[in-house]
């Protein structure tokens, strides 16, 4: 059972906007920044969003992140078939001295 809570699945059609939620607590999301990762089938995770809403170089601006209190969300606009992947949220946890992850959300592009 993961420390951060994400919906197990999400879906959308090409061109649509989808959001994925991530819920935590005061020891993680409530007091630290959130990162999001994309994991394509059979590959290592890739950083998508850091510091709640910042995109690394090369990540399309279709991906955006936000945080409020002990929750965060990832939004993907203009959905494309290549966005079909697993998405994970993460945040530093003050009680663990390490990051905690969500259980992952499998995004299906219909």
Interacting residues toward another protein by CB under 8 A: 2, 32-33, 35, 37, 43-47, 50-51, 56, 88, 90-92, 96-104
**Cβ 24 to another protein shortest distance, Å:** 13
DSSP assignment of 51-91 = TTTBPPTT--TTEEEEEETTEEEEEE-S--GGG-EEEEEEE
43 or 81: CB nearest another protein: 43
56 or 78: CB nearest another protein: 56
3-class secondary-structure state, position 26: coil
19 or 31: CB nearest another protein: 31
Residues 6, 107: contact at Cβ < 8 Å? no
């Amino acid at each position: 059972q993961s420390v951060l809570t994400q919906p197990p699945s999400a879906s959308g059609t090409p061109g649509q906007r989808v959001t994925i939620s991530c819920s935590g607590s005061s020891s993680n999301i409530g007091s630290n920044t959130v990162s999001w990762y994309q994991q394509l089938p059979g590959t290592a995770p890739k950083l998508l969003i850091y510091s709640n809403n910042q995109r690394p170089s090369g990540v399309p601006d279709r991906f955006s992140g936000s945080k409020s209190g002990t929750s965060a969300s990832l939004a993907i606009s203009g959905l494309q078939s290549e966005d079909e992947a697993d998405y994970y949220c993460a945040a530093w946890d003050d009680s663990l001295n390490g990051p905690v992850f969500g259980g992952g959300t499998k995004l299906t592009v219909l």
